[in-house]
Every structure is written in structure tokens, then in C-alpha cells.
Chains A and B, each alone.
Chain A
Amino acid sequence: MGNILNQIGIENYIFLSVVLFCIGIFGVLYRRNAIIVFMSIEIMLNAVNLLFVAFSTYHQDAQGQVFVFFSMAVAAAEVAVGLAILVSIFRNIGSISIDNLKNLKG
């Protein structure tokens, strides 16, 4: 079986992940709801993972996939802690709009 990339082309994967990544950034900027912001961050992470896998195939090397594996572990941990923080914020101020989080004001 030949390389699948012969039929699709690595550049298509690159463009797909760039677009996904930018959608993630857009979501982070566009939405005020902290949970949606979180989801956008997950989209960004997935864009990067996709690129890793694509290049892993391109190089015929398993290292990229191993990295994706670790990246997933970190993402899982991050989501768990992040959502816990969100819950605790919600419990304290009754809202998860990031406009209401003004404690960083100097």
C-alpha cells in the first residue's frame, strides 16, 4: 500500500489545520462565554494534533503519534482542571462571562 499522501497531498492537511487553528483563535476572541472559549482552545489543540499525525505519516515515523498521545493526556488534564476552576468561579460570582473577570486590573 502506497502512501496515502500521494493521493491527498501534505499541503491540504496543512491548510486544513491552519484553518482549524484560526477558527480556534477566532472563537477565543469572539465569544465571552468561558466554556466556549475552552472549546475553541480544544479545537486549536486538535488542529495541531492533526498536523502531527499528518507529518508522522509524511516522515513514516511513529514519534509524531507518540507526541499526539502525550498531547491528549495533557489536554485531558487541562480540561479537567480548567472546568473545575470554571465551576468554582461560577459558584463564586454566578457568571462565567470573561468580561466579569476584572481582577487582573492594575
Chain B
Amino acid sequence: MDTNLALILVLTPLLGFLVNVFFGKSLGKTVSGAIGTIAVAISFVVSVLLFNQITSTGKGIEVTLFDWIQISNLKINLGFLLDQLSVLWLLFVTGIGSLIHLYSISYMHDDENMHKFFAYLNLFVFFMITLVIGSNLLVLFIGWEGVGLCSYLLIGFWHKNQDYNDAAKKAFIMNRIGDLGLLIGMFIIGSMFSTLDYATLKTAIAGASNLNLPLLSLAALCLFIGACGKSAQIPLYTWLPDAMAGPTPVSALIHAATMVTAGIFMVTRLNFVFDLATDVQSVIAIIGAITSLVAATIGLVQTDIKKVLAYSTVSQLGLMFLALGFGAYEVAVFHVITHAFFKACLFLGSGSVIHGLHGEQDMRNMGGLRKAMPITFWTMLISSLAISGVPFFSGFFSKDEILLTAFHHSIPLYVVGSIASIMTAFYMFRLMFLTFFKEFRGTEEQKHHLHESGSLITIPLIILAILATFGGLISLPGNSWLNEYLAPLFTKVAGEEHHLGTTEYTLMGVAVLGGLLGILIAYVKYFKQDNVPESNENITGLSKVLYNKYYVDEIYDAVFVAPVNSLSKFFRDYIETGLSAAVFGLGKIANEIAFQGKKLQTGSIGLYLFVFVLGLCAIVSYIFLAQ
């Protein structure tokens, strides 16, 4: 029964993918979209069933399909592990996935390759489920690579634009760097414990008497590099903003809600490894904090609506890693969930806006959309409030918990995180004000066509907005359902942060005030004073640095790409020329020798016979006389 459920869960999206790939074109757009959506929805229903089962029994389900690899003492099964963590992930992956599929039916309806789009989306969901429910690191790795592939395919979905293709390649290559780290980490763990299975690994680590801690830390660091690549942390974050080249539902599903949280999932899954590697935990916390701040500052001045959201995503992911670094896995998971709700809602809202404006993404050409698109406006407003940490919205609870955890462990990192949160509030409301308030700044034609999107677009928005509002209820401070639910996964005793004292209330107040301050600044600057960000040439000073993303891409270009290019050029111009000359030279020498030798072949049989007899004489005399 469990095996069947798990197989249905995994294989339905794959089936959807196959149907759409092979028959999508002939089925027509609506049918193809419906198939894709239903496939994911079935997976969601199965996830809900599994969730019910697990909450009632309190035990994870292990499904082993078959022995996969067996080399000496290393044994790897193809198996699934459906425990609290993976089922939680499944719920929002398939849940939000279904909503986004539904949304895409309307959003992508004008695209000629819609069946391909749904095929890729289904394939993505398949790989994401594999990643989440794999019972060992190798199965996770399959999913990990698979989602990377789908991400590549979907970023470059509009492949007629070369910039988009470049963005897709960038994402793929950046991810490969991280994947290498993940692989090395897996190798180290495999060689240390002869297993990649989570459960076996956990007991092995718990039971090990003299553990090689430095090596384990190295493994943890390598795994974290993998997480960095997938979850867009410094120094591998630059692909995520570029990944906005893909269609907006893709940005919502892959680059905000699900795939980018794979790194957090992996770290949480292997919490027993990271708990032992305290140095690596500090590295994670610091990198998370820095990423959060850097991305937030860049987000302050971006004018492309999706770029703002992308940097916001990077920043929020940084906050999650901050929590992971302190060993507060359940807090990170909580933020992953709330973030999935409100960020998906924000992306879908921005998609609705872009759809309404026929592809316009620059906020300087928007404005005043509040009346034309009320549902979009209200849902996005709710989500913005949630992400800014306004009390009683979901983001407030999760972000507050992260900051609380940070405060208990390290004041500097708490400050960094708080500043990032204030900035978040500022740029989110800058986005809201520039997009929805004041007068419309676009062309007359666009203004004429302004309209609210259809119900297929607004229904997912409304559902997500509701979730963004009430999502925080799963983990209220002091009375956290989520912490209890996840408790069996973690070795350490959770709950030390949950006695609510004056410090906690003060910090909450500070956070709320900070958020409100950010909103206020945005209000003054972009509503009262009616500023509009200037066009690209007029940006100067610090904003110019920020607008150009700290020139990180340029620095990477100069440090990594340019040397490689010049090295290749060197090899092409000198080494290869030399090699070719050498090879051609050898050929010429052989040719010349053959040409000279050819003259010996006169074709005169008399001469041949004469030489033959002389040779016979020589050989016979050598054999019989030269002793």
C-alpha cells in the first residue's frame, strides 16, 4: 500500500511529462495544460494522504524498491523515505506546484510551445519529489541534477532570445560547481561510513566511537557548497537573478518556492552531520547573513519587477541559512514554508502584472495599477506585508524566530539580519508603490488594454494570499505545532528559545518597528515625494554600484572567465598551431620518404630477380659461413 502510494506520488508527474512530450502537440493547449495540472494535483492528494498517515502514526514510512548498487561493502538501494520532513516538503511542493500549473494554463496560453512548458514543469515536479523523498543521498542526487536540468530547460524556454539562453547556461554551470561539492561530500561520507542511506548514516554517526571529525567537517563543507549552488548563496548566487529570464510561473515555482530550497532541505536532512561540524555551521551562518544583506542592498535599486523579487529570494534564503547555521533547523523549515507561500504569491502577482502589460517588466513604466487589477493588488499587498514582517502575517512569525535565534547566538549576525529585514520591507513596498499607486507611466496603448487577469490566474493568487496570511499559525511562538511535528528528526532538544521573556518581546517589537520603518521610508520616498527611479544613465554613486549588483558578474568575468578564455586562446593560437604543425610535419616526412622510396619500385622484373638472388646469396652466406 505504502509502496503503491509512493509510486503513484512519484510517477504521476512523470506520466504527465511523457504524455505531454509525446502527445502534447496534438492534444491541444488546454488539454495538455489540464493533464499537467491534474498529474501534479494527484501527487498533492497522495501527499495529503501520506501526511495524514504520518501525523496519526508519528512514524516515517520507508519504501525500498530494489537494490541498486552493490560494490564491496557499499550498498545503495533505490528507496524512498517518507517521514515528517519529506512529507512536509511534498505538501508545499505539490500544493504550490498544482496552483502554479493551474496559473500557467492561463499565463502560457499564447505560447505556441505550451505543451513543452507543461512537460518540463511536470518533469521538474517529478525530480523535485524524487529529491525530497529519496532515502539516500544518491537518490537525492538524481533529483538534484534533474531539477537543475529542468531549471535550465525552463530558464531557456524562450530560446529564441540569446540572453535567455546565456542565463540558462549560467544557471546550469553555477549549479554544476555546487554539484561538484555535493558529489565530493557524498564521496567522503560514502568512504567514511560505507553508506549513503540517511537512517543508517544517522545510527553510524551516533554509534561511532572515534569519529574523524576534520574529515566529516570537510564533507559537511562540501555538502554546503552544493547547497550554496542550488540555493543561491554567496559566492554562487549570481545565476538566480538571471534565471528570471524564464516565464514567471517558472520563477515562482522553481526559483522561489521549491528548487532553491533544496539546499536547505539537504542540510536539514543531514542535520546530524552538520551538528557535529560546528565550524562549518559558523561558516553557514556567516555566509547566510552576508548573502542576505548583499542581496537586500542590491534589491534596493533594481527596477525590473522580477529582479527585485529575485534578490529578495536570495536575501530570504540567506536568512534561512542563517538559521541553519545556528542549528535551528525547524526555524529554517518554517521560513521555507512561509516564504514559499508569499514569494510564490508575489511572483505570480508580478506575472499577472506583466501579463496585463503584455510583457512589460520595468517598474518605471508601471504605476496606478491598483484600480485596474484589484485582486492582484490586494494579494500582492498581503504578501508584501507578510515578507516585511508585519505582525500576524506569516512572515512575521518565521522571520522573527530566525532573528531571535540569531540574537541568542551572535549579536553581529542578528544586526546584519535585522538590517536585511528592514531593507526587505523597504524594497518590497518600493515595488508596491511604484507598481500599483500613482498614475500609469506606460504607453497609451498599454493603458488602453489594462485589465484584471482571468480567474485561472487570480484563484491561485487568492489561495496563496490566504496561505501567506495564516501560514504562520503552524508555528506560533511558544506553542509550535511545527516544532513538535519535526521533533523526531533532530537529535538536540528543541525549545530552548521558546520561553517568551521580555527580551523576546523587545526583539519582536524592534523587528516590527524595523519593518514599519522600511515601509515608511518607501512610502515617503515613492508615494509622498513621488520619486521614480532614474533611467540607467543617470544613476550615480553608491546606487550605481548597487544597480550593477556590486559588479559581481563583472568581477567573476574578470577573475574566472577571462583567464580561462585567454588560456583557451593561448592554447588555440600557440599550442594547437604547434601541435598541428608537428602532426602535419610528421605526415610530410612520411610522405617524402614514401615518395623517394617509390622510385625504387621500377617495375622491372629482371632487376627484382637480380636483387633477389643477391639477397639470397647474402642470407645463405650469413647463415652458413659467418660463424
Is there a direct interface between A and B, measured as CB atoms under 8 Å apart in the complex?
A: yes
> Do residues B601 and A101 form an inter-chain contact, with CB atoms below 8 A?
no
Interface string of A52-86 (1 = CB under 8 A from B): 00000000000000000000000000000000000
Flag if A101 contacts B602 (CB, 8 Å): no
Partner of B603, one of A29, A32, A104: A104
Q: Mark A93-106, 1 if CB is under 8 A from B, else 0.
A: 00000110111111
Residue of A nearest to B601 (CB): A106
Is the Cβ of B606 less than 8 Å from the Cβ of A106?
A: no
Residue of A29, A101, A102, A106 contacting most chain B CB atoms (<10 Å): A106
**Neighbouring B residues of A32 by C-beta, 8 Å:** 606
Q: Are A28 and B609 in contact (CB under 8 A)?
A: yes
Nearest Cβ distance between residue B546 and chain A, in whole angstroms? 77
The B595-614 residues at the A interface (CB cut-off 8 A) are 597-606, 608-610, 613
B-chain residues with CB within 8 Å of residue A102 when the two chains form the complex = 602-604
| Contacts between chains A and B (CB distance < 8 A), count | 31
Contact A103 B603 (CB under 8 A): yes
What's the minimum C-beta distance from B166 to chain A, rounded to whole angstroms?
57
Q: How many residues of B contact A (CB 8 A)?
A: 14
A105-B610 in contact (CB<8A): no
Q: Given the complex, which residues of A lie within 8 Å of B601, measured CB to CB? A: 104-106
Identify the interface centre among B597, B603, B608: most chain A CB within 10 Å of its CB.
B603
Q: Which residues of B have CB within 8 Å of A48?
A: none
Q: How far is the CA of A105 from the CA of B604 in the complex (A)?
A: 7
Which of A25, A101, A106 has a CB less than 8 Å from the CB of B600? A106
B602 touches A105 (CB 8 A): yes
For residue B386, give the distance in angstroms from its CB to the closest CB of chain A: 88
**Contacting pair B603 A105 (CB below 8 A):** yes
Interface residues of B in 563-617 (CB under 8 A from A): 597-606, 608-610, 613
List chain B residues, Cβ under 8 A from A99: 604-606
Give the shortest distance, in Å, between B322 (CB) and chain A (any CB): 81
Q: Tell me if A's interface is mostly helix, strand, loop or mixed.
A: loop
Given contacts A29-B613, A106-B598, contact A98 B606 (CB under 8 A): yes
CB distance from A15 to the nearest CB of B (A): 16
The tally of residues in A whose CB lies under 8 Å from a CB in B reads 12
Given the complex, which residues of A lie within 8 Å of B609, measured CB to CB?
28-29
Q: Which of B598, B599, B605, B610 contacts A101 (CB 8 A)?
A: B605
Give chain A residues whose Cβ lies under 8 Å from the Cβ of B602.
Answer: 102, 105
Chain B contacts for A25, CB-based, 8 A? 613
**Secondary structure of the B side of the interface?**
helix
Which A residues, 1 to 53, have Cβ-Cβ distances below 8 Å to chain B? 25, 28-29, 32
C-alpha gap A73/B15 in the complex (Å): 78
A29 touches B610 (CB 8 A): yes
Q: Chain B residues with Cβ under 8 A from A104's Cβ?
A: 601, 603, 605, 608
Please report which residues of chain B, range 196-239, place their CB below 8 angstroms from some CB of chain A when the two chains form the complex: none
Give min CB distance, A48 to chain B, whole Å: 14
Q: B602 CB to closest chain A CB, in angstroms?
A: 6
User: In the complex, what distance in Å separates the CA atom of A25 from the CA atom of B611?
Assistant: 12
Specify which of B603, B610, B613 is in contact with A106 (CB 8 Å cutoff). Answer: B603
Least CB separation from B610: chain A residue: A29
CB distance from A14 to the nearest CB of B (A): 14
Residue numbers in A under 8 Å from B598 (CB-CB): 106
Question: How far apart sit A25 and B612, CA to CA, in the bound complex (Å)?
Answer: 11
* Residues on the A chain within 8 Å of B603, using CB: 101-106
Closest beta carbon of chain A to B31's beta carbon, Å: 72
Residue from the set B597, B598, B613 with the largest chain A CB neighbour count within 10 Å: B613
B residues 240-292 in Cβ contact with A at 8 Å: none
Question: Nearest-CB distance from B137 to chain A (Å)?
Answer: 66
Distance A13 CA – B603 CA, assembled complex (angstroms): 38
Query: Given the complex of chains A and B, what is the CA–CA distance between A99 and B597 in angstroms?
Result: 21
- In the complex, how many angstroms separate the beta carbon of B606 from the nearest chain A beta carbon? 6
A57 to chain B, nearest CB (A): 24
Q: Which residue of A lies closest to B617 (CB)?
A: A25
With A and B bound together, what is the CA distance between A29 and B259 in angstroms?
89
A102 to B, closest residue via Cβ: B603
A105 to B602, CA, bound (A): 5
* Chain B residues near A101 (CB-CB < 8 A): 603, 605
Whole-angstrom distance between the alpha carbons of A32 and B607 in the complex?
Answer: 11
In the assembled complex, the CB of A64 is this many whole angstroms from the nearest CB of chain B, namely 21
Set of chain B residues within 8 Å of A28, measured between Cβ atoms: 609
Q: Contacts of B600 on A, CB cut-off 8 Å?
A: 106
**What B residues does A29 contact at CB under 8 A?**
606, 609-610, 613
Q: How far is the CB of B6 from chain A (nearest CB, A)?
A: 74
Residues of A within 8 A of B613 (CB): 25, 29
- Chain B nearest Cβ from A105, distance in angstroms: 3
What's the least CB distance linking B590 to chain A, in Å? 15
CA distance A104 to B611 in the complex (A): 15
Q: Return 16 A-B CB contacts under 8 Å, by A number.
A: A25-B613, A28-B609, A29-B613, A98-B606, A102-B604, A103-B603, A104-B601, A104-B603, A104-B605, A105-B601, A105-B603, A106-B597, A106-B598, A106-B599, A106-B601, A106-B603
Q: A29-B610, A105-B602 are in contact. List 11 more A-B contacts (CB 8 A).
A: A25-B613, A28-B609, A29-B606, A29-B613, A32-B606, A98-B605, A102-B602, A102-B604, A105-B603, A106-B601, A106-B603
> Which A residues are closer than 8 A to B by beta carbons?
25, 28-29, 32, 98-99, 101-106
The interface of chain B, by Cβ under 8 A from chain A, is 597-606, 608-610, 613
Which 9 pairs between the two chains have the least Cβ-Cβ distance? A106-B601, A105-B603, A102-B603, A106-B598, A104-B603, A98-B605, A101-B605, A29-B609, A28-B609
